[in-house]
Amino acid sequence: MMKIALFPKVDKETSKRIAKGVIDFLTERNVMVVTDDETAEVFNLPPLSSIDFKELQFIISMGGDGTILRLLHTYEKFDIPIIGINVGHLGFMADIPVPDIYPSLTDLLEGSYEIENRMMLSAVLKDQTNFALNDVVIHRSGNPNLVELAIKVDGKHINTFEADGIIVATPNGSTAYSLAAGGPILTPQLEAVALTPICPHTISNRPIVLMPHHEIQIQYLTTGRALDVVYDGILQGQMEAGETLQIKKHKKMLRIVRLGRHDYFATLRTKLGWVGKLR
Q: Which residues are catalytic?
A: 65
Quick check: 94 and 64 in contact, CB under 8 A?
Answer: yes
Both ends of the chain: CA-CA distance in Å? 49
CA distance 130 to 8: 26
User: For 7-16, which contacts have Cβ atoms below 8 Å and span 24 or more sequence positions?
Assistant: 7/35, 7/36, 7/39, 7/59, 7/60, 7/61, 7/62, 7/63, 7/67, 7/71, 8/35, 8/39, 8/43, 8/62, 9/62, 9/63, 9/67, 9/87, 10/39, 10/42, 14/87, 15/62, 15/87, 16/42
CA distance 237 to 210: 24
